[in-house]
Amino acid sequence: MPELPEVETVRRGLLPVLEGAVIARADVNRPDLRWPLPERMAERLSDKRVAALRRRSKYLLADLDSGETLLVHLGMSGRMLVSGVTLGQFHHDHPAPQKHDHVVLHMDSGARITFNDARRFGAMDLMPTDRASEHMLLAGLGPEPFGNDFNEPYLAARLKGRKTPVKAALLDQRIVAGLGNIYVAETLYRARISPLRLAGDLAEPQVHALVPIIREVLAEAIEAGGSSLRDFRQANGELGYFSKHFQVYDREGGPCETPGCAGTITRTVQSGRSSFWCPACQR
């Protein structure tokens, strides 16, 4: 599932085409994705200007001049693809309609934004902009990793006394928003912390060190266009390339890249999810 860097990459790819532009027409080709789509969705989107395009955790938020906000969750296989516009050095012509093109936004510029989702695990909703933070998918989220509210004293307070593994704590969206399996694995590797350690057992300097490392890993991933595993694509259809820089994730059996460490990357299952780490240098 796309994590914060992938969603931020998509947001940045959509910005030149979507923010400040008018949705001339919206085509809604089915009544539901993961959940039912909003009533009269096509009507409520058509002829509306996008005042701002934001991201909250793993969700895209398009604020409309009607006072409503469109929420988009990509799910496992959702893609927001742009056509009919020049992005960078390339012009992306409109492709032929595809089977899983569920929502299509025809912009007044002639561009087209297509939400394609083969597995239909994605979601869309419309809500009042002034109450967007109260939406069921957003209300319980913790602070953004790049925001001022996410800092060393905050994280230390949230992890203090917790009897869950530190990996599970960092995946908890109520503690910090947007982190997923990939970037928690890479963060803990750089911090030299075992994913099996109980969060409450970490020394204060270890917890404090996690904050800048989380930001560093996420910033590098955004710069690389996210990580392409299975279905993820940027808005221009290109792959994300941070996966080429994985130090532990999906590298089971490979050598540890820590200078002087002779360890081997190990895969451990925690709560049904894979943890990749080096038992020799992550303690």
158 part of the active site = no
Does residue 100 have a pLDDT over 50? yes
Q: And the tokens for 201?
A: 């057992």
5 part of the active site = no
Look at residue 88 in the predicted model and tell me its pLDDT: 61
Look at residue 179 in the predicted model and tell me its pLDDT: 95
Look at residue 95 in the predicted model and tell me its pLDDT: 83
Work out the average pLDDT over 249-263: 95
Look at residue 94 in the predicted model and tell me its pLDDT: 84
Look at residue 76 in the predicted model and tell me its pLDDT: 87
Look at residue 85 in the predicted model and tell me its pLDDT: 80
pLDDT grade for 227, boundaries at 50, 70 and 90: low
Look at residue 160 in the predicted model and tell me its pLDDT: 97
Does residue 235 have a pLDDT over 70? no
Q: What is the pLDDT of residues 196-224, one digit of tens each?
A: 999 999 999 999 999 999 999 999 989 88
Please identify which of the residues 48, 58, 112, 167 carries the catalytic annotation.
58
Does residue 240 have a pLDDT over 50? no
Residues constituting the chain: 283
2 part of the active site = yes
Q: Domains (ranges, CATH) in the chain? A: 4-134 (3.20.190.10), 152-277 (1.10.8.50)
Please identify which of the residues 2, 143, 165, 195 carries the catalytic annotation.
2
- Residue appearing with tokens 């929502």: 103
C-alpha distances in angstroms, 127 versus 10, 32, 62, 135, 233?
21, 16, 10, 8, 27
- Of 136 and 238, more confident: 136
Is the Cα torsion angle 169, 210, 230, 56 positive or negative in sign? positive
Look at residue 242 in the predicted model and tell me its pLDDT: 54
Worst-scoring range by mean pLDDT, 119-128, 239-248, 261-270, 271-280?
A: 239-248
- Average pLDDT over all residues of the chain: 91
Worst-scoring range by mean pLDDT, 79-88, 114-123, 274-283?
A: 79-88
Does residue 225 have a pLDDT over 80? no
205 part of the active site = no
Q: What is the pLDDT of residues 154-186, one digit of tens each?
A: 999 999 999 999 999 999 999 999 999 999 999
- Residue appearing with tokens 């710069």: 223
Cβ-contact 61, 6 below 8 angstroms = no
- Residue appearing with tokens 């990996």: 167
Please identify which of the residues 152, 267, 273, 279 carries the catalytic annotation.
273
Please identify which of the residues 3, 6, 8, 68 carries the catalytic annotation.
3
pLDDT grade for 238, boundaries at 50, 70 and 90: low
Does residue 104 have a pLDDT over 90? yes
Work out the average pLDDT over 224-245: 55
Q: Where are the alpha helices (DSSP H) in the chain?
A: 4-18, 41-45, 152-159, 166-171, 181-191, 204-223
